[in-house]
Structure 1
C-alpha cells in the first residue's frame, strides 16, 4: 500500500504533467495567430512549437521512472523485513 509521501509525490507528478499538457494544448490549439494580441507574450515563440515537447516528455518519463523504481525498492525492503 502506498504511504503518504508516495501519494504526495505521485500526485505532484500528475499535477505537473497536467500543467504542462494544458500549457502545450493551449499553445497549439487555442493561441490566436494574430501577433498583436496580448496572449502570445505568455508563450514561447512559434518555432519552438515542435522541439519543445521532447525534452519535457523525457524529463517527465525520467521522473516517473525514478518514482516507480523508488517505490519498488522501498516495497522490496519492507517485504524482506517482514520475512
Structure 2
C-alpha cells in the first residue's frame, strides 16, 4: 500500500509529465499556425530545439521515475526486514 509521501511524489510526476506534454503539443501543433510576430512565441523555445528538448525531458522523467521506483523498493525491503 502506498504511503502519503509516495502518493504525493507519484502525483507530482504525473503533473510534471502532463505539463511537459501540453507545452510540447502546443509548441509542435499550434505554434506553426500562429504569426511569428505574435507575443506567444516568446514563451516557447526556437524551432531548432524541437527534437533535443523532448529527448532531454524524457530522459529526466525516466530518471526520476527510476529513482522513485528504487526508493519504494528499498523502503519496502526495510519494512519487511523489520517485520521479521
Distance apart, 1:24 and its partner CA: 0.4
Q: Does 1:69 align with 2:74?
A: no
In the alignment of these two chains, the number of paired residues is 83
Q: Which runs of 5+ in 2 are unaligned?
A: none
Greater helix share, 1 or 2?
Answer: 2
**Range that drifts further, 45-54 or 33-42:** 33-42
Residue 32 of structure 1 contacts residue 40 of structure 1 at CA under 8 Å; is this kept in 2? no
Residue 17 of structure 1 contacts residue 60 of structure 1 at CA under 8 Å; is this kept in 2? yes
Provide TM-score, normalisation by structure 2. 0.93
Distance apart, 1:51 and its partner CA: 1.3
CA distance in 1, matches of 2:41, 2:64: 30
Distance apart, 1:32 and its partner CA: 3.8
Structure 1: which 4+ aligned runs deviate by more than 4 Å? none
**Range that drifts further, 35-44 or 4-13:** 35-44
Distance apart, 1:14 and its partner CA: 0.6
Alignment RMSD: 1.0
- The one of the two structures with greater contact order (alpha-carbon pairs below 8 A, sep at least 6) is 2
Q: Which runs of 5+ in 1 are unaligned?
A: none
2:32 alignment partner, SS class: coil
